[in-house]
Amino acid sequence: MSVRSTSAPTRLRRAGVAALAALATWATTAVALAAPPAAAQVDPSDVEVTLGPGASATVAKTVTTPSVPPNPDLVFLADTTGSMGGAIANVRANAASVTSAVLSAQPSAQFAVAEYRDATDPFVFRVNQNLTGDTAAVQTGIDAWVASGGGDFPEAAVNALFEIGSGAVAFRPDGTRILAWFGDAPSHDPSQGHTLADAVAALQAAGIRVVAVNMGAAGSGLDTGGQATSIVTATGGVLLNNVPADQVAQAILDGIQAVKVTVTPTITACDPQLSVVLTPASQTVNSGDKASFTETITVQQGAAAGTYHCTVDFLVDGASRGFVERTTVHVPGVRVNDVTVAEGDAGSTPAAFTVSLDRPSPGPVTVDFTTADGTAGAPGDYTPASGTVTIAPGATSAVVTVPVTGDTTDELDETFTVALTAASGAAITDPTGVGTIVDDDRDGVFSCRASALNLVGVEPVVANPSDVPCVPDSKTVARVGLNAGALAVNAKALTATTVQTPGELTSAPPAEGDNATATASVDTTTISTLGLTIELGVIRSTASARCVPGEGGLVPRFSGDSTVASLKINGVPTEIGSGPVTIPLVIGSLTLNSTETTATSVVQRAVALDTVLADVVIGEARADVHGSTAHPHGNPCRG
């Protein structure tokens, strides 16, 4: 501006003198300008939480905005009328410091230089340097400013603002447009045919924020009539009043750093299992200040176990500036395992089901459980159970115990289930645990039988005559005489014995050495018929079924042996070996020490006389194994 005077020549002359004095005083006045604070950031930038379906978590988010608005296009606009020499000198001397500070905060910054005077001057408005990143060119443009001219008290600021808003400076499409305007006088309104409202509309349309450095007090200078106030208010800019000439450069930098920016969180990607809401929807703060938000992360009801992601871009003034937060949400999976438990013979045996998480949770996880019959039924085979199991924070498992009822009934393996429902804090990945009750009772029984003498079906001395099952038994007769027509049998000291180990099969599980054994013995025997007399010494016969190790576990092994101490036929001694032998007779045949073995039995006969008159068997022992109703092909060596 120029100083007030009644004479224009005098006014201009005084302005020129003031300008020269200012140049002499301030041309070399360079000061250390305050550097901008640290770059923007999101805190926390990575969020990782563990939540169950339907659960939510809140996270406090802080976005430290850039100390200088991002990617700035900064225009230095000076009133270069006669009274502005000191301010111009200060900006000229400190231009490099200003641009350096801005570039330090925003390396992509570019700058332009423009000036205005008044309608009576050689120019009203001009661009000294269009937008560039070349700071030397910027300095050259500022160096072109000369304090001169100025007509009446108001200048042509409104016109300059209108021109810049209307395209006089070629702004970048993605830049933050800032106009740093300094002066000490108001503007004509209208100016060069443009009103203050026209200028405001042009600035708003171009998205330009005005930093007004007023060398006068509030309501005076640039702000006379509230002009600067209305401009910065309408454009989201900053007004600095009472700025001395030697502090204009610092005020420009301070104003740039005080330009308000709007931070708007925007979800750019999110798995459908999640929802993320940030409040407030946006926040406007001074550049370099912190914008605070509350982020609420929610997992959708019914979400499956897994890991999900959301990305939030905190836009600054509607543009992505790389202030990105990534959210990772883990939904734990809860499952129940399968359990196998031996039934036992009595009482109860715990079937312990493990309810487990695939990852620990910071909060408790609860899940309901209930048992259900399969082939096993409650309460006969197990005790029904239901309730809620809790997995403590940080833990990964808990146990559900179901008592299994023991019995001695041979039966098939049976099953029941434990079902999980209504989980809280996790998603159910395997809802059913199968409990298998392994029948540990024997899959069959032994049978045994011992007969000392059998003449055509007549057996005077028999141990365990029913044969099945094998039970301990013993019979003894001192003398027996039997006849079948012309055939007569006389025997002394007849004994038949059966034994089983263990005596009660249901009292113990199968073990090596379990057996059924039958033994028959006769001290002396005489068989007589037409023209034939057979005399036999001590006869002994044994048959056994015994559990021994085999392929896949215990298996039954069958064995039999017998002995005949002596043999006379019609008074003539006959040699008897240790193995089976058959002696032909006129009336038939005599067989000694015969063993008949099948897959499930053994029969041992010490003496068998086969004649046309009758058959006689002396010293017969047998042992067998049989399956059960549940295991028709089983045997007592298996459980």
**H/E run at residue 40:** none
CA 610 to CA 365: how far, in whole Å? Answer: 82
CA 220 to CA 240: how far, in whole Å? Answer: 12
Residue 480, judged by CB atoms within 10 A of its CB (0-12, 13-18, 19+), counts as buried
Work out the angle at residue 601's Cα, subtended by the Cα atoms of residues 591 and 409, and round it to the nearest 5 degrees. 155
Q: Above 90 in pLDDT, residue 188?
A: yes
Is 586:610 a contact under the CB 8 Å cutoff?
no
Work out the angle at residue 212's Cα, subtended by the Cα atoms of residues 210 and 215, and round it to the nearest 5 degrees. 170
Q: Above 60 in pLDDT, residue 5?
A: no
Q: Above 80 in pLDDT, residue 406?
A: yes
3-state secondary structure of 17: helix
pLDDT score of 152: 84
| Homologous superfamily in CATH for domain 351-436 | CalX-beta domain (2.60.40.2030)
In the chain, % of residues over pLDDT 70: 94
Q: Above 70 in pLDDT, residue 38?
A: no
Average pLDDT over residues 117-137: 97
Domain with CATH 3.40.50.410 in the chain: 8-30+70-258
> Which overall architecture, per CATH, does domain 8-30+70-258 show?
3-Layer(aba) Sandwich (3.40)
pLDDT score of 345: 81
pLDDT score of 526: 97
Q: pLDDT (tens digit, 9 = 90+) per residue, 484-533?
A: 999 999 999 999 999 999 999 887 889 999 999 999 999 999 999 988 99
Q: Above 70 in pLDDT, residue 15?
A: no
Least confident of 59-68, 125-134, 367-376, 556-565: 59-68
Q: How far is CA 112 from the centre of its chain?
A: 55
Is 496:450 a contact under the CB 8 Å cutoff?
yes
Domain with CATH 2.60.40.10 in the chain: 42-65+261-331
Q: Above 90 in pLDDT, residue 365?
A: yes
Least confident of 163-172, 305-314, 437-446: 437-446
Q: pLDDT (tens digit, 9 = 90+) per residue, 258-281?
A: 898 899 999 999 999 999 999 999
3-state secondary structure of 60: strand
Average pLDDT over residues 309-318: 93
Evaluate the CA torsion angle 423, 429, 432, 433 in order and state its sign: negative
Side chain identity at residue 606, one-letter code: A
Q: Above 60 in pLDDT, residue 36?
A: no
Q: Above 80 in pLDDT, residue 26?
A: no
Least confident of 252-266, 376-390, 459-473: 252-266
What does DSSP assign to residue 247? Answer: G
β-strand partners of 501:
515
Side chain identity at residue 444, one-letter code: G
Tell me which residue of 279, 49, 72 sits closest to 180, measured CA to CA. 72
pLDDT score of 233: 96
Q: Regarding predicted confidence, which is higher, 431 or 409?
A: 431
Q: How confident is the model at residue 11 (pLDDT cuts 50, 70, 90)?
A: very low
pLDDT score of 639: 80
Tell me which residue of 111, 140, 141 sits closest to 128, measured CA to CA. 141
Q: Regarding predicted confidence, which is higher, 27 or 404?
A: 404
CA 618 to CA 495: how far, in whole Å? Answer: 11
In the chain, % of residues over pLDDT 90: 82
Is 623:601 a contact under the CB 8 Å cutoff?
yes
pLDDT score of 177: 96
Average pLDDT over residues 211-216: 96
Q: Above 60 in pLDDT, residue 189?
A: yes
| Homologous superfamily in CATH for domain 42-65+261-331 | Immunoglobulins (2.60.40.10)
Is 590:583 a contact under the CB 8 Å cutoff?
yes
Domain with CATH 2.60.40.2030 in the chain: 351-436
- Helices 85-105 + 248-257 axis angle, to 10: 40
Evaluate the CA torsion angle 135, 136, 141, 143 in order and state its sign: positive
CA 572 to CA 80: how far, in whole Å? Answer: 159
Q: pLDDT (tens digit, 9 = 90+) per residue, 167-178?
A: 999 999 989 999
pLDDT score of 349: 94
Q: Above 90 in pLDDT, residue 410?
A: no
Average pLDDT over residues 285-293: 92
Q: Whats the size of the chain, residue-wise?
A: 639
Token digits of residue 387: 């309730």
CA 76 to CA 251: how far, in whole Å? Answer: 12
Q: pLDDT (tens digit, 9 = 90+) per residue, 565-607?
A: 999 999 999 988 778 999 999 889 999 999 999 999 999 999 9
Token digits of residue 630: 């549940």
What pTM was computed for the model?
0.69
pLDDT score of 92: 98
pLDDT score of 33: 53
Least confident of 20-24, 108-112, 221-225, 329-333: 20-24
CA 238 to CA 636: how far, in whole Å? Answer: 99
Q: Above 70 in pLDDT, residue 37?
A: no
Q: pLDDT (tens digit, 9 = 90+) per residue, 55-64?
A: 999 999 999 9
Alpha helices in 236-311 (DSSP H): 248-257
Q: What is the mean pLDDT of the chain?
A: 91
CA 183 to CA 248: how far, in whole Å? Answer: 9
Evaluate the CA torsion angle 17, 19, 25, 27 in order and state its sign: negative
